[in-house]
Structure 1
Amino acid sequence: MFIIQLKFSSNKAQAGQLMDGHKEWIKRGFDDGVFLVVGSLQPNLGGGIVAHNTSRAELENRVNDDPFVIENVVTAEISEITPARTDDRLKFLLPETTAS
């Protein structure tokens, strides 16, 4: 499981021009079954994503395809979490060896 922080950079002013492409990129993440949650970092710092069902290398490639990343509207930081325990509703996030 991964947490992605997309923090605004000095090129933040270009966000409006690239928003349609960014939203399409987010839609692809959900359509591909990789993104679980997408939202804003408060107060107006950028965005955050919870992702799973992918490798780190694949996720890095996906993040690098975001128009916001390409045009330096945001900088991306990816953190990997290996869940050890979850609420029953989130058991699908556990590695198969601990899910039982």
Structure 2
Amino acid sequence: MAAHKEWIAQGIADGVFLFAGSLDNGQGGTVLATGEAPELLAARVRRDPFVEHGIVSADIVAIRPAIVAPALRAALAAA
């Protein structure tokens, strides 16, 4: 778990991850990422210790927001 948390912290420090957290149903977690090319993001996800050791499998889903709240738009612009 410590190595996974370090991986998340690095993604946040790099400005790629905006947030990360567990799902309420205990069935995994999610990370919101921005500003990294798809192939680089995929490589980053493969370096997650949970993924490297086969503890979890990761799906990357691209989102193209159509409507964005001003506060989120500002956060995304700053990232």
- Structure 2 length as normaliser, TM-score? 0.88
Deviation at 1:84, TM superposition (A): 2.0
Deviation at 1:60, TM superposition (A): 0.2
SS, match of residue 26 in structure 2: coil
Partner of 1:55: 37
AA aligned to 1:26 is: I
SS, match of residue 50 in structure 1: strand
Q: Which of the two has higher C-alpha Rg?
A: 1
RCO greater where, 1 or 2, for CA within 8 Å and sep 6 or more?
Answer: 1
2:59 to 49, 65, 77: 77
Partner of 1:14: none
Percent identity over the alignment?
43
Counterparts of 1:91 and 1:38, CA distance in 2: 18
Partner of 2:16: 34
Q: Write 1 or 2 for the structure with the bigger share of strand.
A: 1
Q: Name structure 2 gaps, 5 residues minimum.
A: none
Counterparts of 1:46 and 1:91, CA distance in 2: 27
Deviation at 1:47, TM superposition (A): 0.9
1:67 to 43, 49, 54: 49
Q: Figure out how many residues of one structure are paired with residues of the other and give that number.
A: 76
RMSD: 1.3
Counterparts of 1:53 and 1:87, CA distance in 2: 18
